[in-house]
Amino acid sequence: MIIFALCLAGVWIADFLPIALPANVIAMLLLFILLVFRAVKPVHIETTADFLLKNMAFFFLPATVGVMEHFDLLKSSLLPLLVICTFTTLLTFLATAYTVKGVTALQNRLEKAKERVVLTGKEEAKCRN
């Protein structure tokens, strides 16, 4: 019930929001905020959320079947579509993975530098003593 009510709230908010944000995504954000601030507890929505998440693939079936209306369009650009999907997917994978790796390495280096500052500080204090 909470989830469905939030969906409705999402549609309502999307209506008067000046930016074009999809209603479902607004509702998703709302639920996340409610969960973080413990206004909604996981027990309240667990059963429904699990049901929805587990059967998500099934809910897409009608949308996928809609592809049959666009067969001509798909057929005429099948090869570019496959090339685009393959290339961009791998590129995205590498870009994400290397960014994460880089940021983690940077964080580690900063932390070590901090530790060193603390350590040298302590040693100086020792020397003074």
20-39: which residues touch another protein (CB under 8 A)?
A: 20-25, 27-32, 35-36
By CB under 8 A, tell whether 13 contacts another protein. Answer: no
DSSP for 47-98 reads HHHHHHHHTHHHHTHHHHHGGGGGHHHHHHTHHHHHHHHHHHHHHHHHHHHH
By CB under 8 A, tell whether 46 contacts another protein. Answer: yes
Binding to another protein in span 110-129, by CB under 8 A:
none
Dist. CA 108–CA 114, nearest whole Å: 10
In this structure, what token pair is assigned to residue 22?
């999809």
Residue count at the site for another protein (CB under 8 A)? 71
Q: Give the shortest CB-79-to-another protein separation in angstroms.
A: 9
Binding to another protein in span 53-112, by CB under 8 A:
53, 55-70, 73-74, 77, 80-101, 103-104, 107
Give the residue with the Cβ less far from another protein, 97 or 118: 97
Spatial contact of 28 and 3, defined as CB atoms under 8 Å apart: no
Residue recorded with tokens 């996340």? 32
By CB under 8 A, tell whether 18 contacts another protein. Answer: no
